[in-house]
Amino acid sequence: MSLPDLVIAAERVFDGEVLYRDRFVVVRDGRIADVTSNPAPAAHLIRLPPGALLAPGFVDVQVNGGGGVLLNDDPSPVGIGCIAAAHRRLGGTTALLPTLISDTRPVIQAAIEGVAAAIAAGVPGILGIHLEGPFLSPHRPGIHDPARFAAFLPSDLELLTQLGDQGITLITLAPEVVPPGTVAALVARGALVSAGHTADDGAAIRAALEEGLTGVTHLFNAMSQLASREAGAVGIALTDDRAFTGIIADGHHVGDTALAVARRMKGAGRLMLVTDAMPPVGDPETLATFTLFGRTIRRDGDRLTGSDGTLAGSALTMAGAVRHMTTRGGAPIEEALAMAALTPARFLGLDNQIGRLAPGYRANLVALDQELSVLGTCIGADLDFPNGPSASAA
């Protein structure tokens, strides 16, 4: 039986590229049926408050934790569901990649199995997995534990890509620490590969781009910088159009000037917002401290650090990143919203399914108030409007 039609009315509707006034988004069977100024009668109507904005649901490709859960510690479907629910409720994230920080091969195996089980169980919003490490440079570890870094083995090809067609696999590695041909082999097995935690002067990253690397993980952070005579990871990321670049727009990881440079160099079509979020997002029990590989991580406001001051991921949500891009990054709202939805969808090869409000697309939606705080979300036929109006008969 067909699901009842749902219509969401908003003063502002962003379809992924264009911001419209006074539009209705029609949802049928979990997909968008129409974006119109004159909808037919429907079974249910949600009319957003004055000034509210309806946009494609946010897509976050780097989420370590949330809801009090760190993926490394609890890779179960329940734990993954807690992470996704926290980011959906607070950040408007309707699709994400749970992200495993560098760990042992048994933990990698468990995380992939957990994500596969979460997808099979229909946990809303889970697209696949992001494996950030353990094939990273000890010279740029960030908050990762170098004791968990590893040399790439031939058997790792099968280990890392076993999710297969069940979901997306994104792998962050330092191109200079893996054997030549590794990136090409991973891409041939269906993985997306991103460069991160790298000390490379640029040569290995250029070679990896030729092999099929398409991403750069958290631009400016834990990577070689642009210098007068060395491109470094930053220089390659900013100037090579083949590379999508994630950026953590929280005011701590990247300063305003660097944020503006990235936006001007990459544009909204290649720069994508990520949170790199940790367990404190959405969980009052972990607001002050939590433990990462035996290290105490403290929260000061929205800044997370180890005892030595090293940044330890973030307490950021995607809605917060969008706000930061508009207030401190100089981006028009249309650009910021695209960086949070359509651009990461394009990076993942899903821009024909999510990232837009257009007929045939999944009904992944976020409703925001005038301050860009989340009123509610829709993932397919699953509505969640705890901070806004509920559906009523039309």
Q: How far apart are CA 200 and CA 136, in angstroms?
A: 11
Q: Which of 201, 276, 302, 384 is catalytic?
A: 276
Identity of the amino acid at 248: I
The reply to whether 337 sits in an annotated binding site is no
Residues sharing a CB contact under 8 Å with residue 256, sequence separation 6 or more, in sequence order: 328, 329
C-alpha 176/C-alpha 136 separation (Å) is 9
Is 158 annotated as belonging to a binding site? no
Is 311 marked as binding a ligand? yes
pTM for this predicted structure: 0.96
Is 303 annotated to bind ligand? no
Q: Work out the percent of the chain whose per-residue pLDDT is above 70.
A: 96
Q: At what angle do helices 333-340 and 318-327 cross, to 10 degrees?
A: 150
Domain boundaries, the chain: 6-56+355-393, 58-347
What's the pLDDT at 1? 40
pLDDT score, position 225 = 95
Looking at the chain, the whole-number percentage of residues with pLDDT higher than 90 is 87
Assign 5 a pLDDT band (cuts: 50, 70, 90). Answer: confident
Q: What topology does CATH give the domain 58-347?
A: TIM Barrel (3.20.20)
pLDDT for res 4: 54
Is there a binding annotation on residue 205? no
Which CATH code for domain 6-56+355-393? Answer: 2.30.40.10
Q: Would you call 276 a catalytic residue per the annotation?
A: yes
